[in-house]
Amino acid sequence: MSSRRALQIAVAVLGLVPVGAGLAGAWLGPAMVGVAGAASTPSLDSHMRYLSGLLLGIGLAFWSLIPRIEARGGAFRLLTAIVFVGGLARLSEVFREGLPPLPMLFGLGMELLVTPLLCFWQARVARLGAGMPRA
């Protein structure tokens, strides 16, 4: 299997995370993370659903890059930067409040480790596709 095809498959599979979490958050609101009833407010609910919609959009945007992934470096880097900045915001909370539950740690790992690694992989695939030497 080519590196390009492996990257396409990885982005397709890993894209299930933001798409699934985005859909769940948009549908369930704060109940997705165990906040419901009196603990939820209209402001919290609205913000959670909005951010979940953004997450869904980011996942769909990554998926849109799959067919010509080797030629979509600029878009891939932009999406990676957005995800990484979100991960930094989540990480800042770890230093203030301590470790979050496991699903949130999984998200943090995706944001700060997996997505940047995919971005480096995409750059490598683009270089190889253009016939440039490996760096």
pLDDT of residue 80: 98
26-61 burial code (b ≥16 CB/10 A, e <16): bebbbbbeebeeeeeeeeebeebbeebebbbebbeb
pLDDT of residue 131: 67
Nearest-10 Cα torsion for 7, 8, 13, 14: 50
Statement: residue 31 has pLDDT above 60: yes
List pLDDT tens digits, range 97-135.
999 999 999 999 999 999 999 999 999 999 998 766 555
pLDDT of residue 35: 83
Alpha-carbon gap, residue 42 to 29, rounded angstroms: 10
Alpha-carbon gap, residue 81 to 111, rounded angstroms: 9
List pLDDT tens digits, range 33-78.
888 776 788 899 999 999 999 999 999 999 999 999 999 999 999 9
Please give the average per-residue pLDDT across 13-24, as a whole number. Answer: 97
pLDDT of residue 106: 95
pLDDT of residue 59: 98
Find the radius of gyration of the CA atoms of the chain: 17
pLDDT of residue 39: 78
pLDDT of residue 24: 95
> In the chain, what's the furthest Cα-to-Cα distance?
59
